[in-house]
Amino acid sequence: MKIIMLGAPGAGKGTQAKMIAEKYGVPHVSTGDIFRSNIKGGTELGKLAKSYMDQGQLVPDDVTIQMLLDRISQDDCAKGYILDGFPRTIPQAESLTKALDDRREMIDYAIDVDVPDEAIVNRMSGRRACVGCGATYHIVYNAPKTENICDVCGEKLILRDDDKPETVQKRLSVYHEQTQPLIDYYNNEGILVSVDGTKDLKDVFADIVAMLEA
């Protein structure tokens, strides 16, 4: 099973990707999480990525593409993966298509989690992310069992640096300019499906599972 999650920042890509990955036993591959773990580890890649992420800009394609192609060549990705946050530009999509063509593989579905911009800013201000494992919560819609503590690994939950309202606005405009064209790209490939991401997160998941098992 090879799936791409599309959707605006805060649409719920990460939330759904994690649930799909758990249900079907394939890795959840989030380029944002890989960048954040590099920032935490103080690597050169992390320093470079942070300078873009804090501005709400995309990390350059060459760096991102190489990092993602390396990740999906690892053994745990042999049976598939859920890509969350990649591709985000047409050159990234074309590089992925070409790399998969070379291996005679293909993506099964590109799932667009559709949420209007108005709903996004509200979600982001309530989001909390785990500094340890990257798990994502919402203070109202998906609260952890203990306030500010991760259910999964027990580490502290924080508001992401790029979730400040002005940075969220920038990320949304970058999304509309650079990432939204991928909806047409995957529609033309015949693998696009769209789900209503404004529903309760369990209902969004049920819609995705119903589509995958139809």
Nearer to Mg ion (CB atom), residue 14 or residue 87: 14
Are 128 and 138 in contact by the 8 Å Cβ rule? The answer is yes
C-alpha 179: how far from chain center: 12
Q: Measure the CA–CA gap between 203 and 46, rounded to whole angstroms.
A: 35
Residue 212, both tokens:
């995958």
Residues 6+ apart with CB under 8 A from 75: none
Interaction between residue 31 and ligand AP5 (CB under 6 A): yes
Q: Which does 71 bind (CB under 5 to 8 A by kind): ligand AP5, Mg ion, none?
A: none
Nearer to Mg ion (CB atom), residue 78 or residue 174: 174
Nearer to Mg ion (CB atom), residue 14 or residue 56: 14
- What is the four-CA torsion angle of 120, 23, 192, 33, rounded to 10 degrees? 50
In single-letter form, the type of residue at position 187 comes to: N
Q: Which x/- pattern over 12-41 shows residues binding Mg ion (rule: CB under 5 A)?
A: --x---------------------------
Interface positions, 86-145, toward ligand AP5 (CB under 6 A): 86, 88, 92, 123, 126-127, 136-138, 141-142
Q: Which x/- pattern over 48-67 shows residues binding ligand AP5 (rule: CB under 6 A)?
A: ----xx--xxxx----x---
State in angstroms the smallest separation of the CB of 78 from ligand AP5. Answer: 22
Interaction between residue 56 and Mg ion (CB under 5 A): no
What is each CA distance from 26 to 51, 78, 87, in whole angstroms? Answer: 31, 9, 18
Contacts to Mg ion by CB under 5 A = 14
